[in-house]
Chain A
């Protein structure tokens, strides 16, 4: 069986970022396995701009952002295989993959980085009643139709869910000549970035109906319309508000799910809150030598943060392989558990295994104005910071330095939101 020091599953922004970082930390024997016919992942169909503002301080399109990383891969001569599907990963890091040229092949990896990205929640996951005609797409599928294939999925559109892809597609379809009737959001707030609500909806006069959902889908062969209704505080439709809206297309932008089927095969334990792996501060899962980063780990708002996380994982893998000179012993020296508390949905990482400067990412459960983010160690406040506004759609961070963490060994850290 072929041996490779580091196998990276996925050649999107996470996989490419991890590959470059691992190389720069000294790993030379790297193989990136990508299922599509080119590198870049989902960025290839994200032709709108707004990528890279944090990282490159300029506005790039998705393919441009991907190309920056692809060039870095080429410059370092990092090996990758395209059109290659990974079928299996074992806990002892045997990777089974397949493509048309080589057939099915197996590699014994020294370390593995999972970077498979995420998928969109389909209609079935929503339990929306009605018929099952053509014309119901996830926003990402519609994006592929328009931006990659050059075909219009429909002319008169209702979008359910105000996630970022839905907002982007509302604008995209409008610009391509479709009539976007409305965007419906079940929650009383949007899950998308504020800038997308302004630029995609408001600038194009597309109404956003908060606390609304689709209760019925009509049309036998092709979508003909939807019944929409307002929902109450428990998110149950108020049927007296039901109204019919004509459309030939429904786009769903109702959440993304990390694609962890391979992770499960490798016996990687998952966090039910993120649907991604449980990881330490270097993004190593609970299976030694298997790392995860990007949207397979938890869903990010901005690709810039994916790149940042990918670099942490790439360097972590280099340390694990003993190549970078950093210590990444098997023994967990710090044993710090990180947990969400009041008002926080999840934290990442979920554990800290060594005393070093660590940024903890987290998402809140609701929109709040003027709050304090409080970090406690075994119930005692160790850090507190004011934030003018927090929202579930925007990732938050707290920085914990090594000095602070040195006193937390063996303890449980909690992160919570306090109203001011």
Chain B
């Protein structure tokens, strides 16, 4: 019997697990995919929003500002890259300027610090590569950027280091409400738990239905993105938003913590909860917008395009509800969900405590996790010390991002272990660079096979049927 079962190992599930791991509780995370961070968390704008956007008085507004304030410390503890680069919401038409003022006022009400309204001159002084069509902007110096899947992996890893269990490839198919808790059935052994956190993202309404809760629905909203190579960032420092519309915060241009340039997202409602394909129209729209914001952006520097789904809830706000005692929804966590994640986690844990979850601090709780990416930032002397201790660190596997075999092997053995090619990529950045794994892909595949002690043909890109090869050359021919 677990104290808490968390359904979904995205950022909400991960942060909640970490929060719970401070206490003497038995917690399990059930994740339907082959790795953590496989849904909305792996494909979003990677922004820690300052908190001026949401309507005052909503959970979104409150938890955004709170989460944003906690984020820097959390990232530091977990060894996750975080950069407070500030954000700008830019008006291009006279009629957009009043909206800038509205956002400013809203930000003040929400408690966002140091907001300012900039005129064109001040704006261009901050971001010289902006289009001269930009008339003015809201400036939020507390806006920040973070790598969402890195934060997700680190939070789950830290929770696991503190005793949390992670069950991957575990798709929940049914929940039975019992006297002393819940019986969860799925693609693995049934799991019993006294509390459930439903952090199932675009499937959170489906999970809620399993306990008879039909109070909300989720509409997946696709966002398409393009990622540009390091040398395309140029002088851009801030996250550049357009004045928002009904469908979201508009298409943005932002540097990432890994010094790429991110363009996107589109906002397209759809029924399909799995379809993360890009479309020609979507990619064109992203490019057109980027050119409007930064006319000289080098679109030849695109290294990849991808899409993610936001879990848009039917209530307009986060759905943090308990339809059945002990069962907690974390539904409708669309933007600013990443920014709010630490606050949503505390909110859920506090409310579970009110329902009788006993929070007895764990004496040996360790809030820290060592950063994998530290090697590249070391001095020559420090690097040499590491290489002497582990010569694998002297062997570069991913030449584009300068990632060594040591980092890859460590990622395979750290919590939560990398089990596939994309898992290694998200943890180490091997394959994340300009050749997109063309050179290192086969080598990482070999390392995965060696470290997991499995045949090469069993290594996948991201689990399931995402196999990378169909067996040895001669064997294939003989079968034909």
Q: CA–CA, A21 to B165, complex, Å?
A: 61
> B394–A153 contact, CB under 8 A?
no
- When distances are taken between beta carbons in the complex, the residues of chain A under 8 Å from B457 are 151
- When distances are taken between beta carbons in the complex, the residues of chain B under 8 Å from A191 are none
> A103–B388 contact, CB under 8 A?
yes
Contact indicator per residue, chain B 429-459, by CB within 8 Å of chain A (1) or not (0): 0000011111101100010000000001100
Interface residues of B in 389-407 (CB under 8 A from A): 391-396, 399-400, 402
Chain B nearest CB from A102 CB (Å) reads: 8
Is B366's beta carbon under 8 Å from chain A? no
Chain B nearest CB from A279 CB (Å) reads: 21
- When distances are taken between beta carbons in the complex, the residues of chain A under 8 Å from B466 are 133-134, 221-222
- When distances are taken between beta carbons in the complex, the residues of chain A under 8 Å from B274 are 220
Contact indicator per residue, chain A 127-147, by CB within 8 Å of chain B (1) or not (0): 101111111011011001110
Interface residues of A in 99-135 (CB under 8 A from B): 99-104, 106, 119-120, 122-125, 127, 129-135
- When distances are taken between beta carbons in the complex, the residues of chain B under 8 Å from A178 are 476
Q: CA–CA, A336 to B387, complex, Å?
A: 49
> A35–B277 contact, CB under 8 A?
no
Q: CA–CA, A410 to B419, complex, Å?
A: 62
Residue of chain A at shortest CB distance from B378: A104
Contact indicator per residue, chain A 11-54, by CB within 8 Å of chain B (1) or not (0): 00000000000000000000000010000000000000000000
- When distances are taken between beta carbons in the complex, the residues of chain B under 8 Å from A216 are 277
Is B243's beta carbon under 8 Å from chain A? no
Is B365's beta carbon under 8 Å from chain A? no
- When distances are taken between beta carbons in the complex, the residues of chain B under 8 Å from A371 are none
Q: CA–CA, A348 to B377, complex, Å?
A: 38
Q: CA–CA, A160 to B380, complex, Å?
A: 43
> B442–A149 contact, CB under 8 A?
yes
Contact of B277 among A127, A130, A141, A261 (CB under 8 A): A130
Is B283's beta carbon under 8 Å from chain A? yes
Is A71's beta carbon under 8 Å from chain B? no
Contact of A99 among B278, B394, B460 (CB under 8 A): B394
Interface of A is mostly: mixed
Is B227's beta carbon under 8 Å from chain A? yes
Q: CA–CA, A287 to B371, complex, Å?
A: 38
The verdict on A103 contacting B470 (CB below 8 Å), with A85-B396, A130-B277, A149-B446 known, is no
> A145–B469 contact, CB under 8 A?
yes
Residue of chain B at shortest CB distance from A146: B473
Chain B nearest CB from A20 CB (Å) reads: 25
Interface residues of A in 77-96 (CB under 8 A from B): 83, 85, 87, 96
Contact of A151 among B399, B441, B472 (CB under 8 A): B472
The verdict on A129 contacting B384 (CB below 8 Å), with A152-B476, A222-B467 known, is no
The verdict on A100 contacting B442 (CB below 8 Å), with A151-B457, A176-B476, A221-B466 known, is no
> B446–A127 contact, CB under 8 A?
no
The verdict on A141 contacting B441 (CB below 8 Å), with A100-B387, A149-B456 known, is yes
Residue of chain A at shortest CB distance from B224: A129
- When distances are taken between beta carbons in the complex, the residues of chain A under 8 Å from B395 are 83, 99-100
Q: How many residues of B contact A (CB 8 A)?
A: 62
Is A177's beta carbon under 8 Å from chain B? yes
Contact indicator per residue, chain A 377-400, by CB within 8 Å of chain B (1) or not (0): 000000000000000000000000
Looking at B80-88, B126-134, B247-255, B297-305, the stretch in contact with chain A turns out to be B297-305
Interface residues of B in 259-279 (CB under 8 A from A): 274, 276-279
Q: CA–CA, A127 to B287, complex, Å?
A: 10
The verdict on A104 contacting B380 (CB below 8 Å), with A123-B304, A124-B227 known, is yes
- When distances are taken between beta carbons in the complex, the residues of chain B under 8 Å from A148 are 442
Contact of B302 among A99, A127, A149 (CB under 8 A): A127
The verdict on A222 contacting B383 (CB below 8 Å), with A127-B305, A140-B438, A141-B442 known, is no
Q: CA–CA, A146 to B469, complex, Å?
A: 10
Is B363's beta carbon under 8 Å from chain A? no
Q: How many residues of A contact B (CB 8 A)?
A: 55
Interface of B is mostly: mixed
> A155–B476 contact, CB under 8 A?
yes
> B473–A100 contact, CB under 8 A?
no
- When distances are taken between beta carbons in the complex, the residues of chain B under 8 Å from A103 are 383-384, 387-388, 394
Interface residues of B in 215-259 (CB under 8 A from A): 226-227, 231
Q: CA–CA, A217 to B306, complex, Å?
A: 13
Q: CA–CA, A101 to B391, complex, Å?
A: 7
Contact of B435 among A101, A119, A152 (CB under 8 A): A119
Interface residues of B in 295-315 (CB under 8 A from A): 300, 302-306
Contact of B456 among A144, A151, A217 (CB under 8 A): A151
> A122–B436 contact, CB under 8 A?
yes
Contact of B276 among A127, A131, A177, A217 (CB under 8 A): A131
Is A344's beta carbon under 8 Å from chain B? no
> B465–A122 contact, CB under 8 A?
no
Is B114's beta carbon under 8 Å from chain A? no
Q: CA–CA, A83 to B397, complex, Å?
A: 10
Contact of B471 among A101, A152, A217 (CB under 8 A): A152
Contact of A120 among B226, B392, B400, B438 (CB under 8 A): B438
- When distances are taken between beta carbons in the complex, the residues of chain A under 8 Å from B304 are 122-124
Contact indicator per residue, chain A 241-266, by CB within 8 Å of chain B (1) or not (0): 00000001000000000010100100
The verdict on A221 contacting B465 (CB below 8 Å), with A103-B388, A177-B477, A215-B280 known, is yes
- When distances are taken between beta carbons in the complex, the residues of chain A under 8 Å from B441 are 137, 141
Residue of chain A at shortest CB distance from B471: A152
> A152–B465 contact, CB under 8 A?
no
Contact of B436 among A96, A123, A130, A135 (CB under 8 A): A123
- When distances are taken between beta carbons in the complex, the residues of chain B under 8 Å from A151 are 456-457, 469-473
Q: CA–CA, A39 to B221, complex, Å?
A: 50
- When distances are taken between beta carbons in the complex, the residues of chain B under 8 Å from A154 are 469-470
Q: CA–CA, A216 to B470, complex, Å?
A: 23
Is A98's beta carbon under 8 Å from chain B? yes
Q: CA–CA, A216 to B277, complex, Å?
A: 9
Residue of chain A at shortest CB distance from B420: A134
Contact of B460 among A134, A144, A153 (CB under 8 A): A134
Q: CA–CA, A215 to B469, complex, Å?
A: 24
> B399–A35 contact, CB under 8 A?
yes
Chain B nearest CB from A346 CB (Å) reads: 16
> B456–A35 contact, CB under 8 A?
no
> A141–B283 contact, CB under 8 A?
no
Is B136's beta carbon under 8 Å from chain A? no
Q: CA–CA, A151 to B276, complex, Å?
A: 29
The verdict on A100 contacting B392 (CB below 8 Å), with A119-B434, A125-B302, A152-B473 known, is yes
- When distances are taken between beta carbons in the complex, the residues of chain A under 8 Å from B479 are 177
Residue of chain A at shortest CB distance from B388: A103
Q: CA–CA, A98 to B393, complex, Å?
A: 9
- When distances are taken between beta carbons in the complex, the residues of chain A under 8 Å from B276 are 131-132
A–B complex contacts, Cβ < 8 Å, 24 sampled: A85-B399, A100-B387, A103-B394, A104-B387, A122-B436, A122-B437, A127-B287, A131-B276, A134-B460, A134-B467, A150-B473, A151-B469, A153-B469, A153-B470, A155-B470, A155-B476, A176-B473, A177-B479, A177-B480, A220-B464, A221-B466, A222-B467, A259-B399, A261-B400
Known: A134-B460, A148-B442. 7 other contacts (CB 8 A): A103-B383, A127-B305, A141-B441, A151-B469, A152-B469, A221-B463, A261-B400
- 7 A-B pairs with the lowest CB-CB distances in the bound complex, closest first: A100-B394, A124-B304, A177-B477, A134-B461, A103-B384, A100-B391, A122-B436
Footprint of A on B, CB under 8 Å? 226-227, 231, 274, 276-280, 282-283, 287, 300, 302-306, 380, 383-384, 387-388, 391-396, 399-400, 402, 434-439, 441-442, 446, 456-457, 460-474, 476-477, 479-480
Footprint of B on A, CB under 8 Å? 35, 83, 85, 87, 96, 98-104, 106, 119-120, 122-125, 127, 129-135, 137-138, 140-141, 144-146, 148-155, 176-178, 215-217, 220-222, 248, 259, 261, 264
